[in-house]
Amino acid sequence: MVSKKWQKLVKSLQYKKYRKEEGLFFVEGAKSVLELLHSDFKIEILFATDSFLEKTQISSKIHIETAKEQELIDMGTLQSNQDCLAVVYQKENKFIYPEKEELLLMLDDIQDPGNMGTIVRICDWYGVKKVVASNQTVDLYNPKVINSSMGSFLRTQIFYTDLKEYLSKQTNVPVYGTLLEGENIHTLPLSKNGILMMGNEANGISDELIPFITQKVTIPKFGGAESLNVAIATAVAIDNFMRK
């Protein structure tokens, strides 16, 4: 049985304020936790059902407490969880930059956790290992981001910072910005390295960042839809870079 102390702590980690105070977050569900166990993230404690523990080999260095299925559901955000929930230490917010022949993704004020998680998963699919996000972008450790990333957060490095300040230091790197008035991304010659900037769901790229863009690009429209979801647009844009 999970103590009330732990139940209260885990529930509090659904909120950014308490995640920041504690330096912790949680990962729930068998798939993500099994990947977590083989990552370099440090686990504070693992809550797991007897059935999960019976079929899973776990390092003796990890603190494990048994839990009932309903306790896992009550603590977490999943409607069904028959397996496990891990409380994990957040990583340091380390500076990153695009190295030679490397594409870095930049996110300007992405607000929806589902979009953020999907974008992280897209990056993992295409091998984009680095993401720089504005301080206003949704927190990577938001449970909805973690869940929708399907474990891809483990392989994607994200640095939160002031984008204007960051871009002012990247003087020799091409910066591609997705804008409606940009040139057709299908026909443009695209560099093997650089920064690809995606804007906010409703407002696009901030006006203060546009002067840093060295190449405006757009995904051409062939039908009648008014706009593309930012996660879908990210996938299409990255795919064009990879095909070039």
- Domains (ranges, CATH) in the chain? 4-89 (3.30.1330.30), 103-243 (3.40.1280.10)
Distance CA 147, CA 32 (A): 8
- Across-strand partners of 64? 46
Local confidence band at 243 (pLDDT 50, 70, 90 cut-offs): confident
Phi-psi region of 161 (alpha: psi -120 to 50; beta: other; left: phi over 0): beta
Local confidence band at 1 (pLDDT 50, 70, 90 cut-offs): confident
- Assess contact for 206 and 108: CB atoms under 8 A: yes
Distance CA 72, CA 74 (A): 6
Q: Which amino acid is at 241?
A: F
156 pLDDT more than 90: yes
Apex 62 CA angle, 46 and 24, nearest 5: 55
196 pLDDT more than 80: yes
Distance CA 103, CA 191 (A): 9
- Assess contact for 109 and 100: CB atoms under 8 A: no
Distance CA 74, CA 69 (A): 9
Distance CA 174, CA 191 (A): 8
For the residues 154-159, what does the mean pLDDT come to? 98
Collect all residues with Cβ–Cβ distance below 8 Å to 52 and sequence separation of at least 6: 30, 82, 83, 84
34-69 confidence digits (pLDDT tens): 999 999 999 999 999 999 999 999 998 999 999 999
Distances from the Cα of 217 to the Cα of 14, 185, 196, angstroms:
37, 5, 10
The mean pLDDT of the chain is: 96
226 pLDDT more than 90: no
